[in-house]
Structure 1
């Protein structure tokens, strides 16, 4: 077994225009002061991390690593959640998601997709230069408007959506394979890969690609009423990244899993800071340790109640307390018996020569 690495922190929710949250140096100093050991860095803030430069320049990557090392930090993963979203956008979401892309490709879905594809390939090259073995992203979605279909289920529509999604991602997965990096899709509502069934469907269409993996975030499973521990049992071989984010589902007589178009604080299902929700993280860390997950435990702070700095400070200690240092020997080794073959045959009451 292996010990999970951590604590790490995802920077997306903390990047801001004000110091110390407007530079990588400032963010590193802040995160290190809280006790974090790694940063998960989004790729959509060039002033924080220039993805294009990192993809082409080993010197730039070495500078980034040195900046973090000066604070006792490393990179857990790079993140292209927003760029990955743009690999597949249903026309109903064109206007909403155009804001994730640069001005030059807005209003042009084909150009926007091509730009996003190049960004993902840059992320593969940059990850390799930085010595990383996993990358976090979203799958995007063509079928999401039909997730609870009315008119009724259209099998051909869903077949075409997933075939197209696989066709768009296959060259990107191949690129990540060339650079020795696992591509980890966050299983997340709003994405076509939002549960185990949709991941399996996609995995089959990309020929069980070795780089097609998951970012496990139990909050999104709890809010869908999925057994997140059984999910680990089923998919542990494909879980290569881990967000520590809590959630709670408060059943009531007014609204349910879809949220009723209400703000987060009024929804039946809502995100919370680690330890404030309903998720059994002790069991999650035990499961992941049992299955030899050796990646990072990364805080993703999203909470409808708690202030972000408090969530970050508490989250670091929460992760640290849940990491299980793996034992190098069994607890009952002290009472081990003889491993001499003749002795154990005598213990079994077996006489004569041992059989080969």
Structure 2
């Protein structure tokens, strides 16, 4: 389906009924269905999500949107759409939910007695700068609250739309309150269009890294996901380009295939790269203890075994050669002032 990443729309794992399309062999002249983006306004009761995962460097996050129009076929958040009674396939990228009250809810939660500031991760599941942000501007409203209250935030995106908010982010960066992680999956525009059809062109993401860096905003490049035999040969090239644009830190994530994502990715390979599917899944299994996915903390992001070790070694050597920082930047939470409190004049 033109402009969409998933090649199927399977029922979610919680549905009582499963439907399958069957090719009866008869040719059809009927055009395929058109999938337009639908946005539902969600009246959320809260906006900050907490986690206790020991292998990620934050314990709270905000996702202004459910679903993501970028349509990245590999997105580990796709299975979450099953909780809404929708498909992790095409529904995930066409039936979206926006949280218009996010900024108001955030200010209320930051005002709660006993709240202690720590870095909030913005966009951990779905991209806070996906195309519908241009209209809804929920992410910008959230940043305005965080900037006013001097609350640290880490942003994860693959969109150059983040540069729209440089006016806010630059001021936060001066106080060590923000850093941005930009995901660059590939430098090949043909491959990018196939697996992340509505995400910005790879060059646009590199330009975003440059613009953010020139504005004094620290940037991390995330080579993610690394897909065996598809984009793993690009690791050094991506790191080189991103470093030249000003990225200070770098990280990587090996392809994750939780729940329905395994079959969605398999269908995508069958459509676009049928000759590689078996080899790719074999390498993934080698890095996942013989399974398509291992959710064990400490292993789920990077895997283990010979292939995973090779990727980690290549990342380490390239980062050292290119002068990436060895330690992550730590943001400052000490300047946070709850709504209504007076800021110090010092």
TM-score, normalising length: structure 1: 0.34
- Report which of the two has the higher share of helix: 1
Q: Which has the larger radius of gyration?
A: 1
